[in-house]
Amino acid sequence: MRMISSDNHGITGSGGRGRLLLISVIVAALGSFLFGFDTAVISGTTDALRSAYGLTDNLLGFTVASALIGTLFGALLVGRPADRWGRRPVLAVLGVVFLVSAVGCAYAWNWHALLFFRWLGGVAVGGASVVSPVYITEIAPAQRRGVLVAIAQLNIVLGILAAYFSNYIVGHFVGLNNPDVWRWMFGVMAVPSVLFLAASLVIPESPRWLVKRGRRDRAEEILGRLGHEDPALEVADIEASLQHELAGRHESLWQRKYLAPLLIAFMVAAFNQLDGINAVIYYTADIFKMAGADRTSALMQSVIVGVTNLVMTIVGMMLIDRVGRKILLLVGSVTFVASHLLAAWVFWVGAKGWIVLAAMMGIVGSHAYSQGAVVWVIINEILPNAIRASGSAVISCSLWVLCMAVSWSFPVMAATSSVMAFGFFAVMMVLQFVLVLKFLPETKGRSLEEIQRSWES
């Protein structure tokens, strides 16, 4: 389906091609919105779930982590279908899975059913965490790739904020003491799931995937409609980078020539979880309550943290194609350390009030403009064309393993010593600064094929 005429100006102008690129990015990024919403919505349900199912700290941690177990499956398994059938149909299937998960959680008949549907939502989250940024990376012009891929991160943040705000609204109108309030909180996600499913059916396929399937003319046409300056030259460059696959030889991920980009992608992904962001996102309301806030106030403060996340993500998007990816990670490491040390001090001395909110805003804000803005851009930029989907799937799976470990263990660690938990995250950010400074190359403004050739030289 041709959504918009191709005889208009490109992304730098005001014509249809610029609109098509932006529309395609926004639609793909709706998967990231659902990723963020599904991730954060459970933060408002923890008290109700404890009461409904008599959950201990360990069982609550497992309930939260059940979705993260699903992300492992989704991230690991989505690469092959995305390579075989294309990015667009896989995005549509993920929309269906998100919808089934939302409805299933709302109508869960027991704890085990809730675990299953949360797990199923995690499968969709894991798949979206791979396919949405891969798709945007492959359709974006090099000079705007950073900000366009960062739209996926912006939508994760918008999803998180929407979940916090939705929880607050549902709690206000349904009532926090209503035993079914958590069902309404989960069920709200059905609405954006339907929108994502419908919209993903009308965006164009990734031109790089089309070249891999031998459909050069179609790839050129779509690149032109998306506003790329020289589609024929770009397709030739893509073909050169895919010469082994186009000759009929499948490229294995586990080759020496791919070791360096895989290790660097893994490093960035690992620190994306070891910065402690998901410990804060999943347990925002719990953290504020540990610091003495009542439940309603904790939900409201969670919304403030979500707004901070949004604002600082926009700051990161404004900077990523100007100052580069590496600088954002280095500066972010410094502000992370300061914020985690402040959080550790808060719990050490038993401080309350605005200083607790400031510490949480510092952690979330540091992630938003640095790791949050950079992680999906870096992973998909430095992985070569031939292994981008499969490599991103493996790296994303490792990211979700760490996310599950942090999210499952945090309630137990915090109950033992919140000071030690935040101190650990501070140490990890010192390590990130050292390793990023030494090993991460800058990819700002370089074409995907140019980055690939740098690994081969």
Q: Which of 44-48, 104-108, 286-290 has the highest mean pLDDT?
A: 104-108
Determine the Cα–Cα distance for residues 131 and 90; give it in Å rounded to an integer.
8
Closest by CA position to 377, among listed 307, 282, 309, 445: 445
DSSP 251: P
Residue 268 lies in a domain: yes
* Residue 328 near residue 374, CB atoms below 8 Å: yes
Q: Is the pLDDT of residue 16 over 70?
A: no
Give the tokens for residue 301. Answer: 């403060």
Burial code (b: 16+ CB inside 10 Å, e: under 16) for 341-369 equals: bbbbebbeeebeeeebbbbbbbbbbbbbb
First to last CA, the chain: 41
Segment 291-295 mean pLDDT: 59
Question: Which positions ≥6 away from 49 have C-beta within 8 Å?
Answer: 55, 60, 63, 114, 182
Helix axes 231-241, 216-225, angle to 10 degrees: 130
Residue 3 lies in a domain: no
- Per the structure, the count of domains in the chain is 1
Span of 64-73, 255-264, 408-417 with lowest mean pLDDT? 408-417
Q: Is the pLDDT of residue 87 over 50?
A: yes
Residue 380 lies in a domain: yes
Give the length of the chain: 457
Residue 257 lies in a domain: yes
Q: Is the pLDDT of residue 423 over 80?
A: yes
Higher pLDDT, 329 or 244: 329
Give residue 438's domain range: 16-203+251-456
CA-based radius of gyration for the chain: 21
Which CATH number belongs to the domain containing residue 422 in this structure?
Answer: 1.20.1250.20
Residue 211 lies in a domain: no
Predicted local confidence at residue 8, as pLDDT: 36
Residue 239 lies in a domain: no
Question: Which positions ≥6 away from 417 have C-beta within 8 Å?
Answer: none
Give the tokens for residue 97. Answer: 């899975």
Share of the chain above pLDDT 70, in %: 87
Predicted local confidence at residue 336, as pLDDT: 95
pTM of the model: 0.71
Residue 209 lies in a domain: no
* Residue 75 near residue 401, CB atoms below 8 Å: no
Span of 12-16, 134-138, 161-165, 176-180 with lowest mean pLDDT? 12-16
Query: Distance of CA 209 to CAs 222, 265, 404, 456, Å?
Result: 11, 21, 31, 22
Residue 242 lies in a domain: no
